[in-house]
Amino acid sequence: MDTSFHEVAAQRRTQDVAYSHLSIELDHLYMEDFKLGLGHLRKRIRHIAPWYRTAMAAFTERHPTPRPRISTCFLVDDYFSDLVPPGKLIPELLEAARDEHLTIDYLARESGCAVADGVELAALVAGRLVSVPVQGTDGSRPPTAESGWLSNGQRTPSMPAAALHPRSWQAPMEAEARNHSIFLDVELWDEQDGARRWSCPMLAAVWQLLRLGLLRDHGRTVIQPRPLPLDLPDEWIAMPPVVQLNPRASSFHGYRTLSLLDDRFLPIEHAVRVILNQVGQDREVMERVAQRAGGEGVPVPPEVTGRIAYVFMTDF
């Protein structure tokens, strides 16, 4: 006799998502930028348009496929300030993009990188941080962690007597230094009125992982883009975390991401990479993405940061 017995709670099912070949982020603006009005917005979009076209051409040349799937997205910074309501910002943004023949497929709000549909995404990523070990870390002692901070190496040891012995200062060390260190210590969160407030690099790291389709909550995908609400709400928090503006768009998630950013985001993205390098990835999701991308003839680098590209633009 053939019998079979399963218990659902004993398994973890990993949900698959669809992937574009590339997810392109078209600029990132602070709320203050939007306050400067439609003229400023047009100027910004005009600024990135040639870089977008160049990037598309470069990518399709490097990864020739019969039908390249590329989606574009735009992230609105509503987490640290909520100044311009969706009803004003979205029509202006779409108008500026249309004038430059750019299509914004997806619009996301940054607060959705902290919590999306009840799932605390930033906390989920923070729980997976594996701080880079210095040589000699063998497991015998607990990892040294400064709550709310993450560095790319070893900090200067804190010595109460340092003030008495100024010469005893010990330099911090980058774990992967080439001859000399570029040490970076990233603040992941602070507390405001007893509530945790995530830092911009932490949210931007979540944003990259979201776009790469690598995050799951209990095995389920965490982002499902929804259509633009007919009546735009007055507050960003009432918007879906990711809105699909173009019904014909390729998938929001991409095997790779490219961000076209102003050079003021250079330090932020350095911090983002310090964070992403230390996120322990979901083995199963990583395997599936690698298999699918490889099967499509567009293999992805095994490391997450290898899948992320940038164009940093200065006003030249």
Partner 1 sequence: MRTEALPDQPPAALSGGPEPGLAVGEIRTGLLRNSRTLPHGAVAELLNLLPGEPVRRSERPIAHALSPDVVNGVDCQIATKSGGRMRAVGTILTHAVIVGGRVLQTSSYTTIASHGSQRRLPWSHYTARPGRIETIARAGLADLAAGYLALDQEPGCLDLGSVSERLARRLQSSAVLDGHQPLRFQWTRLRWAARYGLDDDTAEPSAQFELVDDTVRALSLRIPRPPATPSGAVDLGAILELCRDLALHDWVLTTLTRRIERADPGSGDRRRTAAELGPAIDHLLPLWMPGARVADELSAVWEGFERRPGFTRQWEAAVSRVRDQLALHTLQLLANLSSPDTSGEIGSKIEF
Give contact residues for partner 1 (rule: CB under 8 A): 5, 7, 9-12, 119-120, 123-124, 127-128, 130-143, 175-176, 215-219, 276-281, 283, 286-288, 291, 302-306
Shortest spacing between CB 198 and partner 1, in angstroms: 14
Shortest spacing between CB 266 and partner 1, in angstroms: 19
Looking at the Cβ atoms of 5 and 316, the one nearer to partner 1 is 5
Looking at the Cβ atoms of 92 and 217, the one nearer to partner 1 is 217
What are the C-alpha distances in Å from 86 to residues 31, 94, 97, 105, 117?
11, 12, 16, 16, 18
User: SS3 of 109, please?
Assistant: strand
> Got the DSSP string for 140-171?
SSPPP--TTEEESEEPPPP-GGGGT-GGG---
Shortest spacing between CB 107 and partner 1, in angstroms: 25
Q: What's the one-letter identity of residue 270?
A: H
Shortest spacing between CB 211 and partner 1, in angstroms: 17
Looking at the Cβ atoms of 115 and 162, the one nearer to partner 1 is 115
Shortest spacing between CB 270 and partner 1, in angstroms: 14
Shortest spacing between CB 94 and partner 1, in angstroms: 34
Residue 244 near residue 252, CB atoms below 8 Å:
yes
The answer for 172, left when phi > 0, alpha when psi is -120 to 50, beta otherwise, is beta
For 78, the enclosing helix (H) or strand (E) is none
Looking at the Cβ atoms of 104 and 293, the one nearer to partner 1 is 293
Looking at the Cβ atoms of 118 and 247, the one nearer to partner 1 is 118
Neighbouring CB atoms inside 10 A of 289's CB total 23
CA distance 275 to 272: 5
Looking at the Cβ atoms of 7 and 61, the one nearer to partner 1 is 7
